[in-house]
Amino acid sequence: MIEPRWRILDETKPAGVRDVLEVLLRNRNVGDTFLNGTLKDLQPYLTVCGMNEGAELMAGHLSRGSKIVLVGDYDCDGITSLAQMSLFLNDIGYSNYDVVIPRRSEGYGIPKDIAGTAPDARLLVAMDCGTLDSGPVSEMRARGADCIVIDHHEVPSRGVAPASVLINPKQPSCPSRFKEFCSAGLTLLFLTRLRKALPPKFTAPSLGGKYLVLAAIGTVADMVPLVEGNRILARSGLASINARTYAPVLKLADLAGLSGKKNLSAGHLGFYIGPRINAAGRMADARTAFDLLVEDDPDQILRLAQELNRLNAGRQQEEDEILSEIRRQLAAKPAEGRTLVVGDQDWSPGVIGIVASRIQQELHYGPTVVFSVDEEAGLARGSARSVPGYDLYAALAACDPYLLKWGGHKMAAGMTVALEQMDAFKARFEEVAQDHSPEVFVPRARVDLELDLDLVSTELLDVLNQLEPHGLGNPTPTFAARRIPVTLKKAFGREQKHLRLVVDNRIEGIFWRGAPSCSERIWKEQPLLDVVFQVEWDDYSGKPVLNIKAMGDLFRE
């Protein structure tokens, strides 16, 4: 793993757990209202451009019984958006619609032949795609169909698809002050407007329960900031999940080993549920995930959830194999620049994005692109990941002459490159990175405050739980204790990589995958160490423990 530079954000020494909460809120630049947002507080976020117009347009088509085609991207955000829209139509008793989910091999966006495959459609609704799909949208419009696009990807100054209604908070004309919804969140907001616009012959369904669950999963899995409206959606969706009323996600959680958890957290959605939904589109057909999320037959739910679990296991194995190969390549020839661009014809396009993220965590901290190469077609399809402070979208815009197709946002993107342009792309990608300050490419990690270990208690956990759900923009509270003794209790797990420790001679700690970073010298000489940790409840011991993130001489000047 790449070791970051640690920094303590606030040097305050709290005297009690309420003082800890005050520092945490201050570090996140939020107040007490951050803790108490409810669904009623979503009202200000309904100002996203196109919400009302889109709802009225779709309500008109529903009134006339028009054929509707729903299109969604093949990732978790797109699938949970599609599922919400389909469930809504099912709930109002509307059946004259089709669902189209492109395979990853077809590429991102609305399928180019959508007009030909849906000649009788009078309305196309695209979710988590469509902003840049000028060709398919233009052809549908030319055939007399209306097009509603619900999307959150960057909106360029030119080349935007001519949708009848574009619902994307990132378009310059959008008055919404909050721009960071994913499509699953935008879809739920849109459905609240559509619900009000429905003709009297339809009975408007409640938009709690399964709708909130799907919006929360898409929001967490797409790694948008869990602040403002996103925080409300994620928090409300988690409450719905933990009410245990939505069978598809409960079965997926059970198969992921979470059946013993009293309450699921955003972390469980991000690390267990989201990846299993994503696995369908990465390894086979995203339709499997969609079918699960709209299913109500228990036997079918079990079958589909088991299939997603199987696909996810295959995804993990393939990902590990690719990462091992890249590790061998870098051991033989270390990366020389600030960027890393790698590729191979044997690497599946479905897992290269995850591999790019893991490369940054474990092998190379900087803008990273992993390509799946198709030598027969003369093309390479890539997935890119950035680091904080580096605008990947702007970097790829500077590389546009060497790219056949690309899109994304500041932290993640996808692209297609002709193989004869690969060397030129690599050179230009590195050249852009060289124009940035070297400080951008130094990994850093934050600690909220130094914590007196006497404050570690169930009372502290109760206070910390008020800050859930955690994610981008609201990270899990992280603490430090300096110059304290740490004793090894035992190593455990496969290959004995995990450590159970005693910290300061009194509190148990678990250091997951910590063995490789701890030398024998530490246990023989037992020096006083700096420890970075989070506080969690441990079902095994029945008390609070420290989830240790790093140990050593961490805060030297």
Query: Would you kindly state where each structural domain of the chain is located, as residue ranges?
Result: 5-33+444-552, 45-308, 335-441
Residue 80 C-beta-side C-alpha neighbours within 13 Å: 32
511 and 498 Cβ atoms separated by less than 8 Å: yes
CATH of domain 45-308: 3.90.1640.30
CA distances from 4 to 95, 100, 515, 516, 532 (A): 53, 43, 17, 16, 12
pLDDT at 557: 54
pTM of the model: 0.90
Residues of the chain with pLDDT under 50: none
pLDDT (tens digit, 9 = 90+) per residue, 394-453? 999 999 999 998 888 888 899 999 999 999 999 999 999 999 999 999 998 999 999 999
The sign of the dihedral angle between the CA atoms of 466, 467, 470, 476 is negative
The sign of the dihedral angle between the CA atoms of 394, 222, 465, 40 is positive
List, edge to edge, every strand of the sheet that includes 379-385: 340-344, 368-374, 379-385, 412-418, 405-408
246 and 210 Cβ atoms separated by less than 8 Å: yes
Residue 241 sits at φ, ψ, to 5 deg, of -60, -45
List Cβ neighbours of 332 (8 Å cut-off, separation of 6 or more).
none
pLDDT at 497: 87
Q: How far is 227 from 311, CA to CA, in rounded Å?
A: 32
Question: Residue 241 corresponds to which tokens in the numbers above?
Answer: 């999940």
Q: How far is 405 from 493, CA to CA, in rounded Å?
A: 44
CA max distance for the chain: 79
The sign of the dihedral angle between the CA atoms of 467, 473, 475, 479 is negative
Amino acid at 19: D
pLDDT at 556: 66
CATH of domain 335-441: 3.10.310.30
pLDDT (tens digit, 9 = 90+) per residue, 325-373? 999 999 999 988 999 999 999 999 889 999 999 999 889 999 999 999 9
List Cβ neighbours of 513 (8 Å cut-off, separation of 6 or more).
1, 497, 498
Buried b (16+ CB within 10 A) or exposed e, 303-340: ebbebbbebbebbeebbeebbeebeeeeeeeebebbbb
pLDDT at 409: 81
5-33+444-552, what's its fold? OB fold (Dihydrolipoamide Acetyltransferase, E2P) (2.40.50)
